[in-house]
Structure 1
Amino acid sequence: MRMTEHRVVAPQIAPGERVKGPASYFPSIEKTYGRPVQEWLDLIVERLAGEMHMEVVAWLKAEYGLGHGHANALVAYCTAALAK
């Protein structure tokens, strides 16, 4: 995978830690889809270079079978991190 200059790093969430916002979905995403959140973020960052938020959400749902809430949380997290 090609690395981008705006790589988004997944947060480190300790067991039992209460997280708010899009990252609150991350433990469930890893459990449900069997891939680390960092892999999803890397894929999304590449996609966001040429597509809009909802286009990337639709791609995750169609290509990988993610639920809407999970896909939207991942894309929202990336979008916010890239805007900093």
Structure 2
Amino acid sequence: MSDEKIKGPASYFPSIEKTYGRPIADWKALVRSALPARHMELVAMLKEQHGMGHGHANAIVAHTLAEDRDRAGN
């Protein structure tokens, strides 16, 4: 059903795109370009260098890292 509510980190994505004016793909690419940094280092980078709030930064990092783990089959 298309009425199914988005859950988890992706639920923040519409707000992130609206607030910061960049598509999620851009933020994910930025996170990946900073690897192999640790989760909280990536969150801090988004907060300090891009003025992102903690919840938004954490959502992007968590989703990106989980996506990469899934692709790697881990």
Q: Which residue number corresponds to residue 30 of structure 1?
A: 17
Percent sequence identity over aligned pairs:
55
Given candidates 42, 47, 62, the residue that maps to 1:76 is: 62
What's the offset of the Cα at 1:18? 2.2
Give me the TM-score of the superposition, normalised by structure 1. 0.76
Q: Structure 1 unaligned runs (5+)?
A: 1-13
Q: CA RMSD in A?
A: 1.5
Confirm or deny that 1:52 pairs with 2:38.
yes
Aligned residues: 69
Larger helix proportion of the pair: 2
Question: For each residue in 1:39-62, what CA deviation from the matched residue of structure 2 results, as whole angstroms up to 9, or x when unmatched?
Answer: 001111111x22000000000000
Give me the TM-score of the superposition, normalised by structure 2. 0.86
Q: Which residue number corresponds to residue 66 of structure 1?
A: 52
Letter in 1 for 2:55: G
Q: Structure 2 unaligned runs (5+)?
A: none
